Chains A and B, each alone.
Chain A
Amino acid sequence: MDGHRMNGRSERTGPTGVDDAALDREIESLLGAEPSPEFVARVRARVAEGPEPGQWWMSWVLAAGAVAVVIVAVMAWPSREPVSFVREPVQTARVEAVEPVVPPVVAAQTPARSQPSTPGRKSGVVAAATERRIDIDLPEVVIADNEVKTFAALVASLRQSRFDAPVPAAPDAVTRLEIKELPPVEPLEIEPIVKVAALQSEGERP
């Protein structure tokens, strides 16, 4: 051991007259401090206060698991983004020729009635429906079965570069649509507008 150590130590002497061996002895005496007799006992007590070896990481695993659950819950929560009508050019071009998307309640009440075409609004609705989920508190949309089939046939024909313009079949009398009642509309009261300036200019007093 000492022999090995001597290999790393040259017997050189510096300007202060200290050779390596003397320097090492001085350093050893500097570092020769001993811990107090109670030191080992205190270490034992401190170790005994802490967790068992290998168990301390369990708390970290539990904490990481909890964080992962929270992240998954946040990601799975339905988005609350505002409704935006983003138009997709391709979809809009194809839907232009489609019969207007009739609101379900109206369609169910008057199936044969046609409405004036409003292409911008239609394409907006369709595009929005395909774009993202609209999460607003609206009544459930119900579409008559015959209209769904007609629309599907039209889309299929357009995909084949044809335009068949199918006529909706008669509504199925067996499957009745369940139409929920709309919330009552409170009557709007508008006060009459008095044109004071106009009356004064005409020489009348209010």
Chain B
Amino acid sequence: MHERADRLAGNIVTVDENLAREFEARLVESSTLAFRVAFSVLRQREDAEDVAQEAFAKAYRSFRQLRDRDRFRAWLVRMTWRMALDRHRANRRRLARDGAEAGLQTRLARESGDVVLENERAEQLWQAIDTLPEKLRLVIVLAGIQGHDIREVATLLDVPDGTVKSRLFLARKQLRERLSWMATE
């Protein structure tokens, strides 16, 4: 009886250890992805890290259903993106409430001074990306992260390759139009 209980306990520990090991592997390989997805929305390192941490904590709670690598990464991207958008909206509401909406861009640039926002061209590009519809924006961001190809983006978004292609085409077209309009302004 005791032997059986010990064996059972040993199996449970083994399962938990396996889960922890798998999650550690996912964390190491996907941490940059989650951070960059959050950063593409928030453009603040601290906020992006905070959102990515939160997304990983949620992923860990549901990790029994997310053990598959592709499924985990797709879930993580969607969750991080959604949480980052929520955080971004909350930040904007807070700034607007504080009467600091006018200085938002200045503040963003100052707080992330070590990033590319110092470059005017980069700022224009960020603004152009912000004007894209959400679906196009997510596709162009994921394609620009870690050299993801169309198939990888399709897997992350759980959509067909053709959908990614058409969205990428539209996103680039709109970006070019927006950038040209900014250049002539």
Binary CB contact string for chain A from 1 to 28 against chain B (1 if under 8 A, 0 otherwise): 1101101111000111010100110111
Binary CB contact string for chain B from 101 to 123 against chain A (1 if under 8 A, 0 otherwise): 00000000000000110000110
**Is A185 interfacial (CB 8 A cutoff)?**
no
Chain A residues with CB under 8 Å of B48's CB are: 33, 35
Task: Determine the distance from Cα of A23 to Cα of B176 in the docked complex, in whole angstroms.
Answer: 8
- Whether the Cβ atoms of A56 and B149 lie closer than 8 Å is no
Contacts A4-B149, A39-B31, A50-B57 given; indicate if A31 touches B144 (C-beta within 8 A): yes
- Whether the Cβ atoms of B45 and A51 lie closer than 8 Å is no
Task: Determine the distance from Cα of A28 to Cα of B115 in the docked complex, in whole angstroms.
Answer: 13
The stretch among B2-10, B34-42, B78-86, B89-97 that forms the contact with chain A is B34-42
- A39 contacts which of B49, B141, B150, B180 (Cβ < 8 Å)? B49
Shortest Cβ distance from A46 into chain B, in angstroms?
A: 5
Task: Determine the distance from Cα of A126 to Cα of B107 in the docked complex, in whole angstroms.
Answer: 81
Contacts A9-B168, A15-B180, A16-B180 given; indicate if A51 touches B61 (C-beta within 8 A): yes
- Whether the Cβ atoms of B143 and A24 lie closer than 8 Å is yes
- Whether the Cβ atoms of B31 and A26 lie closer than 8 Å is no
**Is B87 interfacial (CB 8 A cutoff)?**
no
- A53 contacts which of B63, B141, B168, B183 (Cβ < 8 Å)? B63
Task: Determine the distance from Cα of A1 to Cα of B171 in the docked complex, in whole angstroms.
Answer: 21
Which residue of chain A has the shortest Cβ distance to B67 in the bound complex? A53
Which residue of chain A has the shortest Cβ distance to B58 in the bound complex? A50
On chain A, the number of residues with a Cβ less than 8 Å from chain B's Cβ atoms is 38
Task: Determine the distance from Cα of A35 to Cα of B144 in the docked complex, in whole angstroms.
Answer: 16
Shortest Cβ distance from B161 into chain A, in angstroms?
A: 8
Chain B residues with CB under 8 Å of A39's CB are: 31, 35, 49, 52-53
**Is A36 interfacial (CB 8 A cutoff)?**
yes
Chain B residues with CB under 8 Å of A83's CB are: none
Shortest Cβ distance from A58 into chain B, in angstroms?
A: 11
User: Within A30-74, which residues are at the interface with B (CB < 8 Å)?
Assistant: 30-31, 33-36, 39-40, 42-44, 46-47, 50-54, 56
Residue of A1, A7, A26, A33 contacting most chain B CB atoms (<10 Å): A33
The 5 tightest CB contacts between A and B, nearest first, are A14-B176, A27-B144, A15-B180, A35-B35, A53-B63
Point out residues on A near B: beta carbons under 8 Å. Answer: 1-2, 4-5, 7-10, 14-16, 18, 20, 23-24, 26-31, 33-36, 39-40, 42-44, 46-47, 50-54, 56
Beyond A5-B150, A16-B180, 17 additional pairs, beta carbon < 8 A: A5-B143, A7-B150, A7-B165, A8-B143, A8-B169, A14-B177, A23-B176, A27-B140, A27-B141, A29-B116, A30-B125, A35-B35, A36-B49, A39-B35, A42-B49, A43-B56, A46-B54
